[in-house]
Amino acid sequence: MGMKCPYCGGEDIVKAGKRYNKYVEKQLYRCNSCRRRFVERDGFEHMSYPKEIILKTLHLYAEGLSL
């Protein structure tokens, strides 16, 4: 899979359900080494909106459109 546990660095990772919030659904993973669950990091942690909306907003702003 090529993913590492952000807690222990282990590579024995398995899917462990999904996490849902108001806007997006994310795959949960579990590390078989330390038994902790985590979501794959995509650079948009702790954001209120999904990355697609954030990227589209930034793109429109860069084109000169206002909010």
Tokens of 63: 């084109």
Strand segments, DSSP code E, in the chain are: 13-20, 25-31, 37-39
* pLDDT for the residue 67: 62
List the chain pLDDT tens, one digit each, 67 residues: 488 999 999 999 999 999 887 877 889 999 999 999 999 887 777 777 888 888 999 999 999 887 6
- Cα–Cα distances (Å) from 48 to 27, 52, 58, in that order, read 17, 12, 15
Domain spans of the chain, in order of start: 13-62
Report the pLDDT value the prediction gives residue 40, as an integer from 0 to 100.
Answer: 85
Q: Which long-range contacts (CB under 8 A, 24 or more apart) does 9-17 make?
A: 10/34
N- to C-terminal Cα distance for the chain?
40
